[in-house]
Amino acid sequence: MNDKLQKYFPDLFSSHAQEIHRLYKQKLEEVAKLQNNCSSAIARQRKKIKEISVSLQEYVPDGDSHSCHASLSIHRERSSAFAEMESFLPKKNGLYLNLVLGNVNVTLLNKQSKFAYKDEYEKFKLVLTVILLLFSFMCRFIFTYRTLDAMFNFLSVWYYCTLTIRESILINNGSRLVVFHHYVSTFLSGVMLTWPEGVLYQMFRNQFLMYCMYQSFVQFLQYYYQSGCLYRLRALGERHNMDLTVEGFQSWMWRGLSFLLPFLFLFWQFYNSITLFKMAQLPNCKEWQVCRDVRLLLPGPLHGNVFTTLGVVYQKYRN
> Is position 181 an interface residue for ligand COA (rule: CB under 6 A)?
yes
Q: Name the residue nearer to its own copies (CB basis): 301 or 309.
A: 301
Site string for its own copies, 153-182 (x = CB under 8 A): -x------xx--xx--x-------------
Site string for its own copies, 94-113 (x = CB under 8 A): -----xxxxxxxx-xxx---
If contact means CB under 5 to 8 A according to the sort of partner, which of ligand COA, its own copies, none does residue 25 touch? its own copies
b/e burial code for range 141-169 (CB count within 10 A of at least 16 → b): eeeeeeeebeebbebbbebbbebbebbbb
Rounded Cα distance, 89 and 74, in Å: 23
Q: Give ∠ CA 109-111-113 in degrees, rounded to 5.
A: 70
> Is position 7 an interface residue for its own copies (rule: CB under 8 A)?
no
> Is position 199 an interface residue for its own copies (rule: CB under 8 A)?
no
One-character DSSP codes across 6-42: HHH-HHHH--HHHHHHHHHHHHHHHHHHHHHHHHHHH
Rounded Cα distance, 80 and 265, in Å: 35
Rounded Cα distance, 31 and 266, in Å: 51
If contact means CB under 5 to 8 A according to the sort of partner, which of ligand COA, its own copies, none does residue 17 touch? its own copies
Site string for ligand COA, 103-122 (x = CB under 6 A): ---------------x----
> Is position 312 an interface residue for ligand COA (rule: CB under 6 A)?
yes
Site string for ligand COA, 250-289 (x = CB under 6 A): ---x---x--x---x-------------------------
Among 3-11, 75-83, 100-108, 222-230, the segment contacting ligand COA (CB under 6 A) = 222-230
The helix/strand/coil state of 195 is: coil
Rounded Cα distance, 208 and 210, in Å: 5
Give the binding-site size for ligand COA (rule: CB under 6 A).
18
Q: Name the residue nearer to its own copies (CB basis): 162 or 275.
A: 162
Helix crossing, 299-318 with 268-280: angle to 10°?
Answer: 160
> According to CB under 8 A, which one of 54, 72, 116, 246 is a site residue for its own copies?
116
Among 65-73, 105-113, 132-140, 176-184, the segment contacting ligand COA (CB under 6 A) = 176-184
Rounded Cα distance, 79 and 46, in Å: 8
Query: Do residues 36 and 51 lie in contact, with contact meaning Cβ atoms separated by under 8 Å?
Result: no
Q: Give ∠ CA 206-212-215 in degrees, rounded to 5.
A: 140
Q: Select from 297, 295, 229, 303 the least CA-distant residue to 265.
A: 303
If contact means CB under 5 to 8 A according to the sort of partner, which of its own copies, ligand COA, none does residue 61 touch? none
Q: Name the residue nearer to ligand COA (CB basis): 89 or 260.
A: 260
Site string for its own copies, 250-289 (x = CB under 8 A): --------------------------------------x-
Rounded Cα distance, 128 and 275, in Å: 28
> According to CB under 6 A, which one of 81, 177, 199, 242 is a site residue for ligand COA?
177
Interface ranges with ligand COA (CB under 6 A): 118, 170, 175-178, 181, 222, 226, 229, 253, 257, 260, 264, 305, 309, 312, 316
